[in-house]
Amino acid sequence: MNIITHKNEIEISGVSDFDIAKTFECGQCFRWEREQASANSEYSSECNQIPVSYIGIAFGCAARVRQCGDSVFISATLKEFDAVWQKYFDLDRDYSTIREKLCIDDFMQKATDYGKGIRILQQEKWEALCSFIISQNNNIPRIKSIINTLCEKFGNVIMFEGKCYYSFPSAETLSAINAEDLAPLRCGYRAEYIIKAAKDITCGKINLDELADNEPEIARKALKKLHGVGDKVADCVMLFGLHRLDAFPLDVWMKRAVATHYGSDFNPNIFSPYAGTAQQYIFHYMRNG
């Protein structure tokens, strides 16, 4: 990986698997919005193509992330990159080697080829838990809308390029409100789940940092003790929040995929220790490819 410091950006090159569109739009995160592409953009002449760029917030920091050929540019200082973005984008991990290991058959060869560039983001643990509680029986546009409203009402203001953005509210903040306070979100029964989870985190009933270092089944069992957290949400939190790459969330798309290609006795351990990464390749391929 090569890092070049520009006036207002950090340029990252030499990373074989880093496609920002696939990474942000494969269903693992909800706070990145694609900017309207324009051939007249200041970046178009630089790339000799219409640029791909997103604005989002992570760990209380707002940034524009754009792609120009094989380089990714993040609007951050080197200090911010070292503190937040290098770990967030999991840039120290070799995803090309992981892809090779996951090509155990023709189906996975197609799925990994199609999903090349996906990286599993190392998201803030509480944000991932709350977000995937909200995601239950929901579609991505509505999930994003609920989360954006939640952040606007209870998060802290972040100024970026003259515009207001909002941090994800802490568990402590949400533990002090009631379901009526969440009525503007229109999140239904999930309001109760959000508040109960926030209270459990705040009072120490569950420690997400400790779970990240625990055995997978212990972490999964602990997460499922939270009100409203079942198998799928627990596995999503393990994969996208605790960064347990052995977690394998199963939704309708995934159940259909594994039943079709691996039968009813499918065991995700065939992809160990990167079952979660395999899941993202399969999910992205089945939804879009």
- Cα distance between residue 131 and residue 245, in whole Å: 19
pLDDT average, residue stretch 72-98? 96
Pairing of strands 61-68, 52-58: antiparallel
The whole-chain average pLDDT of the chain stands at 93
pLDDT at 247 over 80: yes
- Band of pLDDT at residue 199, cut at 50, 70 and 90: very high
Any residues with CB less than 8 A from the CB of 4 and at least 6 apart, and which? 10, 11, 13
> Within 13 A of 278's CA, how many CA atoms are on the CB side?
24
Task: Determine contact, residues 177/136, Cβ cutoff 8 Å.
Answer: no
Tell me the CA distances in angstroms from 253 to 42, 107, 138, 249, one per residue in order. Answer: 39, 15, 14, 10
- Band of pLDDT at residue 42, cut at 50, 70 and 90: low
If one looks up domain 2-92 in CATH, what number appears? 3.30.310.260
- Cα distance between residue 128 and residue 55, in whole Å: 18
User: For 209-228, how does the pLDDT look when each residue is reduced to its tens digit (9 = 90+)?
Assistant: 999 998 989 999 999 999 98
Return the CATH number of 125-240, one of 1.10.340.30, 1.10.10.10, 3.10.350.10, 3.40.50.1370.
1.10.340.30
Please state the φ and ψ torsions of residue 115, each to the nearest 5 degrees.
-95, 5
Pairing of strands 157-160, 163-166: antiparallel
Any residues with CB less than 8 A from the CB of 30 and at least 6 apart, and which? 131, 135, 140, 143, 144, 147
Q: What is the H or E stretch that residue 150 is in?
A: helix 140-154
User: For 142-185, how does the pLDDT look when each residue is reduced to its tens digit (9 = 90+)?
Assistant: 999 999 999 999 999 999 999 999 999 999 999 999 999 999 99
Domain boundaries, the chain: 2-92, 125-240
Per-residue pLDDT, 43: 57
Short-list 281, 285, 279, CA closest to 266: 279
pLDDT average, residue stretch 257-279? 95
Per-residue pLDDT, 67: 96
pLDDT at 108 over 60: yes
pLDDT average, residue stretch 37-48? 56
pLDDT at 41 over 60: no
% of the chain exceeding 90 in pLDDT:
88
Cα 269 from chain centroid? Answer: 22
pLDDT at 38 over 90: no
